[in-house]
């Protein structure tokens, strides 16, 4: 069965726009779980522009909730995450001025550092994932780094689908990487920029075990409600 991870960062974005307490990402995590989310993703960014440390601690302490904490390779963030002890951690690249995570990790350049970070989390029995671009070299490097999972950045694919351009080449890249990673014993996740249409296409790749979706889910919920949108995605990714 494919899993749906709901990224609730933008619940915090809306809360922070007022500087008050509503809507509460903690409540959103509980609600999303109740409505069928298999896991909750939160990104503790270096600039804390949405989820903050208090949110992360509170959300990661919810019993029986799989929280996937996205973090950069920044030393303080890593130290913090080791203290927060999420069930999963996903290492992502982070640039100060980006609007969102623009691409996958530069594994070749940062191999030593990322390998060390992965081992720190594995020692604490925290499952690890690397957010990477769909290319074969990065799958091989992921294996050397000894991550449990990878999350393939689907941003380019999503943009092609949204702009009604030919996405076959990008789809095949994602598929080939998913097949190779699975053969190597790495679990495959996918995420970034996904909506109903792009998810429906990618669900055909049987090796993808989890979709992590944020912006579209929260945006669409304004019109149809979070429960409805989660239900629709769950139906859509059903094997």
Q: Which stretch binds ligand PXP (CB under 6 A): 137-145, 167-175, 209-217, 223-231?
A: 209-217
Is residue 35 classed as helix, strand or coil in its secondary structure? coil
Active-site residue identified among 70, 170, 210, 220: 70
Shorter beta-carbon distance to ligand PXP: residue 70 or 207: 70
Place of tokens 């059903």: 238
Instruction: Compute φ and ψ for 149, nearest 5 degrees.
Output: -135, 165
Shorter beta-carbon distance to ligand PXP: residue 212 or 221: 212
Compute the distance between CA of residue 193 and CA of residue 199 in angstroms, rounded to an integer.
Answer: 10
Decide if 10 is catalytic.
no
The reply to whether 198 sits near ligand PXP by the rule CB under 6 A is no
CA distances from 170 to 137, 152, 177, 201 (A): 16, 12, 11, 12
Decide if 43 is catalytic.
yes
The reply to whether 43 sits near ligand PXP by the rule CB under 6 A is yes
The reply to whether 45 sits near ligand PXP by the rule CB under 6 A is no
Decide if 192 is catalytic.
yes
The strand pair at 39-43 and 88-91 is best described as unpaired
2, 4, 6, 7: which one contacts ligand PXP (CB under 6 A)? 7
Q: Which stretch binds ligand PXP (CB under 6 A): 75-83, 142-150, 171-179, 190-198?
A: 190-198
CA 71-157-110 angle, 5° bins: 35
């Amino acid at each position: 069965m494919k899993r749906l991870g709901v990224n609730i960062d933008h619940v915090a974005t809306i809360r922070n726009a007022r500087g008050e307490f509503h809507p509460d990402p903690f409540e959103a995590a509980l609600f999303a779980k109740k409505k069928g989310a298999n896991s909750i993703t939160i990104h503790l960014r270096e600039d804390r522009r949405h989820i903050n440390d208090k949110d992360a601690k509170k959300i990661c302490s919810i019993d029986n909730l799989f929280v996937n904490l996205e973090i950069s390779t920044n030393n303080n963030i890593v130290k913090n995450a080791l203290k927060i002890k999420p069930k999963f951690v996903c290492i992502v690249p982070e640039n100060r001025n980006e609007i969102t995570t623009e691409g996958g990790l530069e594994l070749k350049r940062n191999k030593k550092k990322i390998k060390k970070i992965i081992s720190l989390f594995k020692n604490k029995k925290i499952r690890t994932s690397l957010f990477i671009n769909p290319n074969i070299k990065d799958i091989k490097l992921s294996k050397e780094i000894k991550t449990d999972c990878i999350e393939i950045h689907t941003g380019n694919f999503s943009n092609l689908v949204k702009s009604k351009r030919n996405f076959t080449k990008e789809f095949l890249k994602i598929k080939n990487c998913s097949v190779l990673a699975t053969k190597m014993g790495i679990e495959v996740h996918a995420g970034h920029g996904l909506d109903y249409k792009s998810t429906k296409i990618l669900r055909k790749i049987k090796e993808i075990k989890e979709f992590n979706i944020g912006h579209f889910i929260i945006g669409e919920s304004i019109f149809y409600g979070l429960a409805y949108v989660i239900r629709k995605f769950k139906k859509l990714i059903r094997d």
